[in-house]
Chain A
Amino acid sequence: MTEQRARILVVDDEPQIRRFLRLGLEGHGYDVLEAGSAEAATRQAVGGQPDLVVLDLGLPDREGFEVLKELREWSRVPVFVLSVRSREGEKVRAFELGADDYVVKPFGMAELLARIKAALRRNVAAESGEPLFDVGGLQVDLSRRLVRVDDVEVRLSPKQYRLLQILVSNAGKVVTHRQLLTGIWGSAHPDDVQYLRVFVRKLRRRIEADPARPRYLMTELGVGYRLRTPEQLAAAT
């Protein structure tokens, strides 16, 4: 991303939501494409080549989920799902279909902007394949399988490392329980969320100063876990 402005596709059937998103996003240096229906969304996604999609789940012609599913068949563009209320079932489904973030209406523009920025940067970082991850006092060197907390090397069991590795390669993104479980145990325990909770508890004890109030490895209630990026950590403290 040199001087080129990132392009964001806003899909929502409510004109007033599109309007304020356009105003807010354009004001912060993004180009904005709009779509008011699933059909228009697909057309714009193909024709406009957006760098990020903000997708409302309640569309007049088809479910937002279907748009997401279709999009994921050919594109890895970051997708932010918008929903009116935090419904955990929808949230999990959105992440499993490949959404990058989930934003509940009503939301503040500042929060959305911070998340968009993080997602765009993450996308660039992921493509560069940077092996060194660094947030706060936590450093993970994927190439050398090294984990340091406040400059002290930390020993992890193979499965704890695998868990951390998955989170690092998706840093900033919510990784669902199922994605983590299959990533660690293969297809053996896709639904044993309690196993995962126990592992997260142990991993936190190694990498967090206060496991009860984690700073890096965050729980997304009912959905999964997320490793904070430096930007997310800074925004939270």
Chain B
Amino acid sequence: MRAAPYLVSAAAVAVVGLAGHALTRAMPLPHVSILFIAAVVTSAAFWGFGPALFAALLSVACESYFFYAPIFSFRVADPQHIADLAAFILVAAFTSRLAASMRARTLEAQRRQESMAALLVFSEKLALAESDAELHAVILEHLEPVFGRPLSLLAPGDAAAAAPQGRRIEVLAGPHGPVGVLSAPPAGPAADPDYARALLDRAALALDRARLRREVAEARVKAEGEALRDALINSVSHDLQTPLAAILGSATTLESFGAQGNAARQRDLVATIREESERLASYIDNVLELTRIRAGRIAPRLELVELADIVDAALRRKGKALGSHAVRVELPAELPMLRLDLFLMEHALANVLDNAAKYAPASSVLTVGARVEGGEVVLDITDQGPGIAAADLPRVFDPFYRGAGPGERPASGTGLGLSICRAFVQANGGSVEALSAGPGRGTTLRIRLAVPEGAALEEGVEADD
């Protein structure tokens, strides 16, 4: 019980007493008790029932001692005064009761408003939490002050194993069953059980939502996986079987010719077998890469390398495909070394070149250029092909997306090249985008790669040279 309200109540009674004294000297006042009601009501309104009752008793003492004859004695002689005091006590008790409950209601409303505000903040934070870990942190941050002790939040499954003996356990139940278990060292109940309950309910709902979200995401990944598998099967059944049919057909035709047969025709058939086999090999490579990416099995081996080496290797590998295209390499001599996985990057680049070779007309110019721009090396591979409509630009990296080839038909190929390219560039910490001024204006594939900090190695070696 705090003493301050009682002291202040006593002071209020004293003030009223002094005021009453001054008043009774100015004019006769038969019932001073009416003045003391003010002190009682004030006490009740500000400090509640206890101090008000205290003020009332003090007032009775004060009245009987100072105001009602005989003065300076607690005795009261006049029966009228006795009735007056009795009425005063009744009125004081009633009004202080009333004022006190009003005060309690105000306090309660105020407290509720504060809890509501806190709950609102809590809900907002729960909604903004991006990961399960963040969600748990928000829940604990808000619940710990309410329970006044460190808490831990466990998944419903591992609660039994992880909660040591003697820890209080509060199961957080969402609409779809338990979503978590709160475990804490033993202690008394929460300071504000209703507020604690509200927090717990919201936490449970948020955890439940998070679980649902997780399940939806998992389902989507699975569905995407299935869609991809369907697309793969389509691709295999069409794009892989076409060259196979050509190979088998050519080989059996050759067989049927026997020893005799037109030499030129035989050469044609042999050439078909070779070309289609090469096509098949590159399809299979791409499909294998895609499965590797999907299985999350690309672990880049990053090392400081020369971009020129990678460009050269990709150009050499795709030399045949690039055939009649005039390739122009414009790499500055002083490009910084980059931290990359040689093979992933070479593969990414080879796919871009392949694509350019496929879409750009024969003997058109293909430019591979690079420059340093704000801490990045920007590598542009520009062709003079049919270009890409702005609406299709973002889609070129989707697996199985194929642009129209020469003559409105979709170009041959699995439509995997650029999606593999993007995955590999990203695995190297880079980004790739397609740029085109529009149909008929050529395409630029732009790859951005960060220049690493340790790239200025050259000086160090110079001294050793």
User: Considering only CB atoms, which chain B residue lies closest to A223 in the complex?
Assistant: B342
Is A123's beta carbon under 8 Å from chain B?
no
Interface contact A212-B311, CB-CB below 8 Å: yes
Interface contact A212-B308, CB-CB below 8 Å: yes
Given known A88-B343, A108-B274, A198-B458, contact A213–B465 (CB-CB < 8 A): no
Interface contact B461-A222, CB-CB below 8 Å: no
Interface contact A221-B343, CB-CB below 8 Å: yes
Binds A, one of B19-27, B37-45, B88-96, B298-306: B298-306
User: Considering only CB atoms, which chain B residue lies closest to A157 in the complex?
Assistant: B465
Count of interface residues, chain B, beta-carbon cutoff 8 Å: 28
Is B277's beta carbon under 8 Å from chain A?
yes
Is B337's beta carbon under 8 Å from chain A?
yes
A134 CB → nearest B CB, Å:
23
Is A5's beta carbon under 8 Å from chain B?
no
B61 CB → nearest A CB, Å:
97
Measured between beta carbons, the chain A residues less than 8 angstroms from B461 are 195, 198-199
Cα A30 to Cα B316 with chains together (Å)? 29
Tell me whether chain B's interface is mostly helix, strand or loop, or mixed: helix
Given known A194-B457, A198-B458, contact A212–B333 (CB-CB < 8 A): yes
Is A159's beta carbon under 8 Å from chain B?
yes
Which B46-89 residues have a C-beta within 8 angstroms of A? none
Partner of A106, one of B281, B303, B305, B329: B281
Measured between beta carbons, the chain B residues less than 8 angstroms from A199 are 461, 465
Interface contact A193-B303, CB-CB below 8 Å: yes
Interface contact B305-A213, CB-CB below 8 Å: no
Interface contact B312-A106, CB-CB below 8 Å: no
Interface contact A212-B331, CB-CB below 8 Å: yes
B368 CB → nearest A CB, Å:
9
Interface contact A211-B308, CB-CB below 8 Å: yes
User: Considering only CB atoms, which chain A residue lies closest to B368 in the complex?
Assistant: A212
Interface contact A221-B310, CB-CB below 8 Å: yes
User: Considering only CB atoms, which chain B residue lies closest to A202 in the complex?
Assistant: B465
Is A170's beta carbon under 8 Å from chain B?
no
Is B196's beta carbon under 8 Å from chain A?
no
Measured between beta carbons, the chain B residues less than 8 angstroms from A205 are 333
Given known A157-B465, A194-B457, A213-B315, contact A201–B306 (CB-CB < 8 A): yes
Is A136's beta carbon under 8 Å from chain B?
no
Partner of A212, one of B303, B305, B329, B343: B329
Count of interface residues, chain A, beta-carbon cutoff 8 Å: 26
Cα A226 to Cα B329 with chains together (Å)? 21
Cα A206 to Cα B252 with chains together (Å)? 54
Interface contact B329-A213, CB-CB below 8 Å: yes
Cα A53 to Cα B457 with chains together (Å)? 41
Is A219's beta carbon under 8 Å from chain B?
yes
Is B154's beta carbon under 8 Å from chain A?
no
Is A197's beta carbon under 8 Å from chain B?
yes
Measured between beta carbons, the chain A residues less than 8 angstroms from B306 are 197, 201, 219
Which A25-79 residues have a C-beta within 8 angstroms of B? none
Is B309's beta carbon under 8 Å from chain A?
yes
Measured between beta carbons, the chain A residues less than 8 angstroms from B305 are 197
Cα A222 to Cα B302 with chains together (Å)? 11
User: Considering only CB atoms, which chain A residue lies closest to B462 in the complex?
Assistant: A198
Cα A212 to Cα B310 with chains together (Å)? 10
Interface contact B333-A211, CB-CB below 8 Å: yes
Is A183's beta carbon under 8 Å from chain B?
no
Interface contact B313-A219, CB-CB below 8 Å: yes
Is B208's beta carbon under 8 Å from chain A?
no
Is A214's beta carbon under 8 Å from chain B?
yes
Cα A101 to Cα B14 with chains together (Å)? 110
Interface contact A221-B281, CB-CB below 8 Å: no
Measured between beta carbons, the chain B residues less than 8 angstroms from A221 are 309-310, 313, 342-343, 346
Cα A86 to Cα B342 with chains together (Å)? 13
Cα A236 to Cα B315 with chains together (Å)? 12
Which A206-226 residues have a C-beta within 8 angstroms of B? 210-214, 219, 221-222
User: Considering only CB atoms, which chain B residue lies closest to A225 in the complex?
Assistant: B309
Q: Mark A62-105, 1 if CB is under 8 A from B, else 0.
A: 00000000000000000000000110100000000000000000
Excluding A210-B329, A222-B342, 5 further A-B contacts by CB distance (< 8 Å) are A159-B464, A195-B461, A197-B309, A211-B333, A212-B312
Query: What is the interface of chain A, defined by CB distance below 8 A to chain B?
Result: 85-86, 88, 106, 108, 157, 159-160, 193-195, 197-199, 201-202, 205, 210-214, 219, 221-222, 236
Query: What is the interface of chain B, defined by CB distance below 8 A to chain A?
Result: 274, 277, 281, 288, 303-306, 308-313, 315-316, 329, 331, 333, 337, 342-343, 346, 457-458, 461, 464-465
